Amino acid sequence: MIENLEILRNLIIKHFNVDPLDKNRARNIVDAKKVFTLIAFNEINGFRYNSVSRYMGYNHATLIHHVKTARDLLEYDFKFKEMYSKIESEFFYLNKSIIKQEIEAELILLDIRINKLKEMYRQNDEHSVAV
């Protein structure tokens, strides 16, 4: 999962020449951080506030603030929305194989659970017939 965050970080660095982990408060860097946090929180499976904030070196409350303000900016700031859309689409393009692997792993887990439930059901049927 950390590799997803690294992919996302590298995309932002490549397209906007800023590091979302930079401690500077310039508007372009703060916008990059907000794009990073919103995509990481919404789109990367398994990440929540604490894990993303640890990666970025933030308190989780700071991350909550970035996600909230990023959602607002998506509605009202065309330049921010354009930046977000560009990074999000390229992130998904680069990340297809990772997403496919996550889906395949989830399907395997579901298959295992189904087989266990079938076995439990069979055992209950055999037990009730024997009684």
pLDDT tens figures, 58-111: 888 888 898 899 999 999 999 999 999 999 888 888 776 666 666 777 888 888
Spatial CB neighbours of 19, under 8 Å, sequence gap ≥ 6: 9, 12, 13, 29, 32
**pTM given for the model:** 0.69
**Domains of the chain (ranges, CATH numbers):** 2-95 (1.10.1750.10)
Residue 70 has which token pair?
């990023």
Would you state the pLDDT for residue 47? 62
Nearest to 68 by CA among 18, 60, 12, 19: 60
Nearest to 18 by CA among 53, 10, 50, 72: 10
Would you state the pLDDT for residue 99? 63
